[in-house]
Structure 1
Amino acid sequence: MTSPGDAAPVKPPPSFSPGVPRGASKSRHPEQRESTASLDSELAESRTESSPTPPLSATSSELPIRTDSRTLRSSTPQLARSSLGSPFDAQVDGSDDLRSVITRSFSPTIAVYASEDTDELVRNKGFKGGFGELIRPFGETVPGKVVIRDSVGASRAWEDYGVRFVDLKGFGRAPLGRDARDSPLTQMEEVLEKHLESSDISLSGSIRPKDALGLPPMSPLCKLLFRQLLSATHPAPHETFGHPVASVIAISSRNTAPLETLRQLYAGSSTGEQRLPDWVHQEYLRYYVLVHDEERDDFDESTKLYDQMKRHFGLHCHLLRLRSSQCVVTDDDSIQLPQSEWLSPLERLSGAGEAETLVDLDTDGTPCLFDSDVTAIRTFIRELVAQSVIPFMENRVAVWNDQVASRRRGISGRFMSMSRRWAGFGSSSRSSMTGSSSGSSGNYDSAHNFYQPDSPEAVLRKMADFAFMLRDWKLSASTYEIVRSDFGNDKAWKYHAGAHEMCAVSMLLNPMAMSSKIKLENVDQMFETACYSYLTRCDDALHALRCLALAVELLKSRGGTATESAAKWAMRVVDFGLVGSVGQILFSERISACYASKVPVSGAKWGARRRKAGMWSILAADQWLKAGKPTLASACLEEAERLYADVLENDGIFPMPEMQSFVDELRHAVKMEYLGSRGFDNTQDEPASAIETLGGLEETSEKLVRRNHRRSLIGLPTQLDTGALNLAQGARDAENPPNDDFERA
């Protein structure tokens, strides 16, 4: 239940009654997982590293001629189709893919701290960012299956697990440069506009298939916005997803004093200049890496040094063998470096991951690696994650669950929480130490706006985040539920909002929590509380937008009545103005997609929301036209036709004349805008060259012209000129006059 200190939300939702029980079983102490014997064979048989996301223009395809006669009175002129703007013509994305995107966005963070000689070795290979830039793309997808044990001892294998590598030297520091003054939301809008301007929008044809349930998938541009939103947040005190779980300390075989250098790097990361901020717990896993130069150094000497490292620093060590020479695309065993999937908006605007063009080699300039280097890096990543990071996180969750969380779940823990809440036990001393004067109680440092990392509230939040990253959503939801009331009592509003947000997300991600066990009104209230705290109490629009976007996509994927809740949260984004002009259009499309995914009751025609979906699709088309994108407006208009085809009678005529007039004028404006963008003047005769163009394509357009009731550009081949089509229609109409009941486009 919510605390008395919670202010009334923007729209008071129903009363909250948690759907996840407070009691949770204690986790067993995880045993050290022995290395997989078939690792080498797995790596040998593993598929080539996934290539970077293709350009948005590469997803365009051709539209087929529709056979459904129940369409609007005047068919939408199908112009150049592009997969950028509409959520209905993109690559098929099911709910499983969406869940994978969300879970991979909250991956463990691993800091990289390499010596100068190691960075110099990697720079010679063509990577200006050093060792961290080299291994960053490979960490986003760990090769093979990663087995994780949950809090009750059950193991599950995951094929899409990954980690995030960050530079320890720049952790917790504001980015430099002109763009640093801009907010991440402004940078996200600039990224969307940049992709719209740089994408090749060409004539196309057939609509891509829907998903298994016939639901409209997410377009690449909507997916880009969603990924940018999930990767735009910086490390913050109120959530530990961006705090390092481990740190990779690397030296090379060129180092003259390797053991001493390792000690200096460790001291620098613990108490020196590279020490993490005070709101980050300093006890995290250290993993030591020796980078061996295959072409210049002696492997026997490196092996001896590696044995010394294991004796001094333990078993969390690895010997990484790399070639120091630079690889070019002309080499027989060259493999292109994959582009990092989780680039922040600032990194995309600054050109990170976009290499300079190599004119002499006629390539795009993407760095390449030798096949032996790629295999060695993948082996290193898998050993780091499967044998060190995952067992470390499982161990910490088990310890915190036994020592901290279990005490809060019992009778005594609840009594102490109530006594501290109403009587203020244990709060005066802490407040005097931190200088708190805002009336908050407990361990919250209101002067610096964070909890000390060793306080019970911070430990419970970190335990919940660890359980979430280990994909034990039942444990994470119950832990968020325990600690969120403490955050409200202490008036730690950003902690309070984050706990409500992630508690709701954990409930929706839990595959065992079906709709019968989770009441949507409870989830809606948690999202409402989180959004209100982010916006009103914290003035944090970025996290509020992330919260609402997660609510939209997760509720939409559940289907049923949850789709209407998803549309409500998407409308909240538009109403609050959390996104720019392009973002508002994309969220309008998501509202249409949410309503379109509402499946009617089996055996009945009622229960769908086709009219609402079509209306929002028409509104998105109007906004795309105002933004100067007639091709994307055409895509939304055609989807509106498909949605209205099942609900409009009388050959697709709207019962309201004003609505019919608006749609007709919008369709005409889309066609005129498109013809104007291609240099045609629709009010004058087309040039004579169009007649010559028609001569060779007359047989191709025969079927189109005979369909007198469909005067549109739908189904046009790419090579057919628009002016040639108008001439062909005029010639055929002279022989076969069209019916008066239909209009020409």
Structure 2
Amino acid sequence: MTSPGDATPVKPPPSFSPGVGRSASKSRYPDEHESTASIDAELSEARSVSSPTPPLSATTAELPIRSASPQSRSVRSSTPQLARSSFGSPFDGRFDGSEDIRSLIIRAFSPTVAVYASEDTDELVRNKGFKGGFWELLRPFGETVTGKVIIRDSIGSSRAWEDYGVRFVDLKGLGRAPASRDSGRDSPLAQIEEVLEQQLGSAEGSLGASLPSKDVLGFPATTSLAKLFLRQLLSSTPAAPHETFGHPVASVIAISSRNKAPLETLRQLYAETNTGDKRLPDWVHQEYLRYYVLVHDEERDDITESTKLYDQMKRHFGLHCHLLRLRSSQCVVTDDDSVQVPHCEWLSPQEHLSGVGEAETLVDLGTDGTPYLFDSDVSAIKSFIRELTVQSVIPFMENRVAVWNDQVASRRRGISGRFMSMSRRWAGFGSSSRSGIGGSGGGNSGNYDTEHNYYRQDTPEAILRKMADFAFMLRDWKLASSTYEMIRSDFGNDKAWKYHAGAHEMCAVSMLLNPLAMSAKIKLESVDQMFETACYSYLTRCSDATHALRCLALAVELLKSRGGSATESAARWAMRVMDFGLVGSVGQILFMERVAACYASKTPVGGAKWGARRRKAGMWSIFAADQWLKAGKPTLASACLEEAERLYADVLETDGVFPMPEMQSFIDNLRHAVKVEYLQARGFDAQDEPAADDPLRTEEISEKLDKRNHRRSLIGLPAQLDAGTLMSAGPRDIEEEPNDDFERA
């Protein structure tokens, strides 16, 4: 095993700057104090009647608005400012969306179902308006299976899940895409950053000068942006040898009723996926479930003939068959029984940038180009996907896990298995008959192919990894974590570093997701060590920045949702992301806000305020406000300033006054700069301040502001200090002491 000193140093992607917001434009901070009391009072009156804003994107679920709890302390009464929002603080641990984030992470690792359809089937679906064929038709409906899905774990207990789903992919491109580089404009990390920038720009164009600073939940608009970032990150990793989440659990082989030789076509499609040119690579396990579908054209073909053909399919290919009845004509919005096709949630960054799933304007109908289906088609597709998942995919996975657990894992856990593992490690005995695949090249005596950097799909290591991934997708996290922990040492002995990193990453994730393992028995030190090992192997040994960022992002969100002392560990991992330069300027700001949210969710001990990290949370919120201002987003900067004030209200000895004059000057400066940018973004001249007795000018400002849907922001106070005063010390330097952070600054 190589030592850290011998490894290649970590290099951030060249398309990103490791500095915080270095590429963003500098904000303008006035050198002289400018009185803004009159504007503050007028804007406060104008904003008192404003309404909450719509969510950031169309994919954000609309939920009822919640009210806020009253503030325990007030700010300086001598300082006029904009009226406070009626929404509660997003940093409140009760409304931080941890369960939503956990559900998002769980749903990201769903079973993959490949789709391979005949040409006549794809042609039928293209006539309905889906250019990608049968796969594109099924994809949006598979992300959430209708009804409850009951899954049995390894000990036989059952649990019902309402958010289960499968991921449909095109078999023709599975495992054949060129390996993506982690540097340059085409890297997944650069594409994610570009998606975030486009999302900010599109929201600005539709809402006015800037984004809404709060969504319907009362969270900042960047909460939706952070979810988009996490969803894009979890969707950016293609099928890889070292993990089987992207490998197909089942394959849908489809023909239509238009086919002249249906049974022969089905045999030909199966042969192409088994031994032909559509066979998956050697690192993909070939024993996946085949599911045969007959698509019946309701408008042109006879249902009696299709039923006879369907009975023949079941006699020849078994019970894993389905008759899907669809109408071949295209549905438009003007039809009475038209239903809009749901948006795909798990689009990759490349698909987002290429415009996949985005609507195009239809001039003749005056509507967008979102596909529509007949209600009967939607019901048939949902019924088919539920039957596929509940009656075929889930039982198949449960059966394979039971077989592999009995035939492979049990031997590995026994005394003989441990002895053979130790013998292979120390003396080179007990290796498989395939040890010659790559053993001589890399110096290892195991089954790892050092020439191609993967295990063959029939080796015990590959089977155990697939078993652990199956258990994870079945949400049996106890079995998954024990299996990952069992095989991670084998990967290290064989110097299979990407497998080694993946096993450590998913072992820690399984432990944190297991609801029965949330007690104090699991030490956070062991979980942190797993994340540390995984991150080091991904970056230094494998130069895989995408998986390293995914590992750190999962560590941040899952440790934060755990609560208690784990929130400080989550904040440290978020700082590590910024230190490594794995994200761009927008990503840096989002992780600053995640650090603030982690510290703010730290609950105090007992009824006292000891143990809380409100000052640290406020400090990082101020850092985020400064970077949003440099990026030209004064509304988001105002939201961060407001949250910082709420956090500081509980810890400052004097209401709204910092003990150090330099810190007070910095906050005043930042507030004033945000206010100037905010007014200029809305067409006001910040230098042309209306007099307090000028009702016409005041009414003009109020009318212009009332026409915009934005929440009441905190914008006020003059300023004198340069913006880089506090950041010059470095965020990590300030964070070392919990109780004297600003004194260190």
TM-score range, shorter chain: 0.7 to 0.9
Aligned to 2:721: none
* In 2: Cα distance, 1:287 partner to 1:387 partner: 11
The residue matched to 1:544 in structure 2 has which SS?
helix
Which of residues 449, 464, 467 in structure 1 aligns to 2:453?
449
Aligned to 2:106: 103
Q: How many residues align?
A: 661
The residue matched to 1:378 in structure 2 has which SS?
helix
1:150 and 2:159 equivalent? no
* In 2: Cα distance, 1:373 partner to 1:135 partner: 11
**Pairing 1:382-393 to 2, within 5 Å after superposition:** 382-393=386-397
Ranked by relative contact order (alpha carbons within 8 Å, sequence separation 6 or more), the top structure is 2
Is the CA contact (8 Å cut-off) linking 1:288 and 1:318 kept in structure 2?
Answer: yes
The residue matched to 1:512 in structure 2 has which SS?
helix
Aligned to 1:531: 535
1:138 and 2:131 equivalent? no
Is the CA contact (8 Å cut-off) linking 1:171 and 1:276 kept in structure 2?
Answer: yes
The residue matched to 2:294 in structure 1 has which SS?
strand
Change (3 A) 1:8 1:412: farther
Change (3 A) 1:59 1:510: closer
Q: CA deviation at 1:678?
A: 2.1
Is the CA contact (8 Å cut-off) linking 2:437 and 2:447 kept in structure 1?
Answer: no
**Pairing 1:102-501 to 2, within 5 Å after superposition:** 102-174=105-177, 182-199=186-203, 200-201=206-207, 219-427=223-431, 430-434=434-438, 436-501=440-505
- Unaligned runs of 5+ residues in structure 1 are 11-50, 701-712, 727-745
**Pairing 1:605-616 to 2, within 5 Å after superposition:** 605-616=609-620
Change (3 A) 1:411 1:649: same
* In 2: Cα distance, 1:687 partner to 1:263 partner: 83
Q: Supply the AA of the counterpart residue of 1:362.
A: G
Change (3 A) 1:75 1:522: farther
Is the CA contact (8 Å cut-off) linking 2:195 and 2:349 kept in structure 1?
Answer: yes
* In 1: Cα distance, 2:571 partner to 2:98 partner: 16
The residue matched to 2:658 in structure 1 has which SS?
coil
C-alpha offsets along residues 562-609 of structure 1, whole Å, 9 cap, x if unaligned?
Answer: 000000000000110000000000000000000000000112121100
1:94 and 2:102 equivalent? no
Q: CA deviation at 1:350?
A: 0.4
Q: TM-score when scaled to structure 2? A: 0.82
Q: Supply the AA of the counterpart residue of 1:163.
A: V
Q: CA deviation at 1:228?
A: 0.6
Change (3 A) 1:691 1:174: farther
Is the CA contact (8 Å cut-off) linking 2:534 and 2:548 kept in structure 1?
Answer: yes
1:509 and 2:502 equivalent? no
Aligned to 1:594: 598
Is the CA contact (8 Å cut-off) linking 1:336 and 1:368 kept in structure 2?
Answer: yes
C-alpha offsets along residues 128-172 of structure 1, whole Å, 9 cap, x if unaligned?
Answer: 010000010100000011111100011111111000000001111
Q: CA deviation at 1:208?
A: 6.8
Aligned to 1:656: 660
* In 2: Cα distance, 1:253 partner to 1:339 partner: 28
Q: CA deviation at 1:696?
A: 9.3
The residue matched to 1:424 in structure 2 has which SS?
coil
* In 2: Cα distance, 1:612 partner to 1:530 partner: 28
* In 1: Cα distance, 2:633 partner to 2:211 partner: 15
Is the CA contact (8 Å cut-off) linking 2:68 and 2:86 kept in structure 1?
Answer: no
Q: State percent identity of aligned pairs.
A: 74
* In 2: Cα distance, 1:204 partner to 1:502 partner: 36
* In 2: Cα distance, 1:126 partner to 1:693 partner: 54
Q: CA deviation at 1:492?
A: 0.2
Q: CA deviation at 1:539?
A: 0.4
* In 1: Cα distance, 2:56 partner to 2:675 partner: 35
**Pairing 1:666-745 to 2, within 5 Å after superposition:** 666-685=670-689, 691-692=695-696, 694=698
* In 2: Cα distance, 1:721 partner to 1:269 partner: 54
Is the CA contact (8 Å cut-off) linking 1:563 and 1:598 kept in structure 2?
Answer: yes
Change (3 A) 1:486 1:719: closer
Is the CA contact (8 Å cut-off) linking 1:88 and 1:219 kept in structure 2?
Answer: no
- Unaligned runs of 5+ residues in structure 2 are 8-54, 716-745
The residue matched to 2:441 in structure 1 has which SS?
coil
Change (3 A) 1:174 1:77: farther
Is the CA contact (8 Å cut-off) linking 2:92 and 2:601 kept in structure 1?
Answer: no
Change (3 A) 1:82 1:259: farther
* In 2: Cα distance, 1:472 partner to 1:65 partner: 38
Which of residues 541, 546, 550 in structure 1 aligns to 2:545?
541
Change (3 A) 1:175 1:688: farther
Q: CA deviation at 1:338?
A: 0.2
C-alpha offsets along residues 692-728 of structure 1, whole Å, 9 cap, x if unaligned?
Answer: 4645999x9xxxxxxxxxxxx9xx8557999xxx9xx
Q: CA deviation at 1:362?
A: 1.3
C-alpha offsets along residues 74-98 of structure 1, whole Å, 9 cap, x if unaligned?
Answer: 8695599999xx9659995533222
The residue matched to 2:323 in structure 1 has which SS?
strand
Is the CA contact (8 Å cut-off) linking 2:220 and 2:639 kept in structure 1?
Answer: no
Is the CA contact (8 Å cut-off) linking 2:59 and 2:345 kept in structure 1?
Answer: no
Aligned to 1:636: 640
Change (3 A) 1:201 1:641: farther
Q: Is 218-227 or 594-603 further displaced after alignment?
A: 218-227
Q: CA deviation at 1:685?
A: 4.9
Q: CA deviation at 1:649?
A: 1.7
Change (3 A) 1:591 1:67: closer
Q: Supply the AA of the counterpart residue of 2:343.
A: Q
The residue matched to 1:647 in structure 2 has which SS?
coil
Q: CA deviation at 1:430?
A: 3.6
The residue matched to 1:300 in structure 2 has which SS?
helix
The residue matched to 2:515 in structure 1 has which SS?
coil
The residue matched to 2:516 in structure 1 has which SS?
coil
The residue matched to 1:219 in structure 2 has which SS?
helix
Q: Is 450-459 or 359-368 further displaced after alignment?
A: 359-368
* In 2: Cα distance, 1:371 partner to 1:209 partner: 30
* In 1: Cα distance, 2:701 partner to 2:67 partner: 18
Q: Is 600-609 or 291-300 further displaced after alignment?
A: 600-609
Change (3 A) 1:446 1:653: same
Change (3 A) 1:429 1:295: closer
Is the CA contact (8 Å cut-off) linking 1:400 and 1:460 kept in structure 2?
Answer: yes
List structure 1 segments (4+ residues) > 4 angstroms apart after TM superposition.
4-10, 55-69, 72-83, 86-93, 175-181, 201-211, 215-218, 685-691, 693-698, 716-722
Q: CA deviation at 1:433?
A: 3.5
* In 2: Cα distance, 1:151 partner to 1:459 partner: 17
Q: Supply the AA of the counterpart residue of 1:586.
A: L
Which of residues 515, 520, 523 in structure 1 aligns to 2:524?
520
Q: CA deviation at 1:283?
A: 1.1
The residue matched to 2:499 in structure 1 has which SS?
helix
Is the CA contact (8 Å cut-off) linking 1:63 and 1:205 kept in structure 2?
Answer: no
* In 2: Cα distance, 1:567 partner to 1:453 partner: 38
Q: CA deviation at 1:620?
A: 0.2
Q: CA deviation at 1:364?
A: 1.4
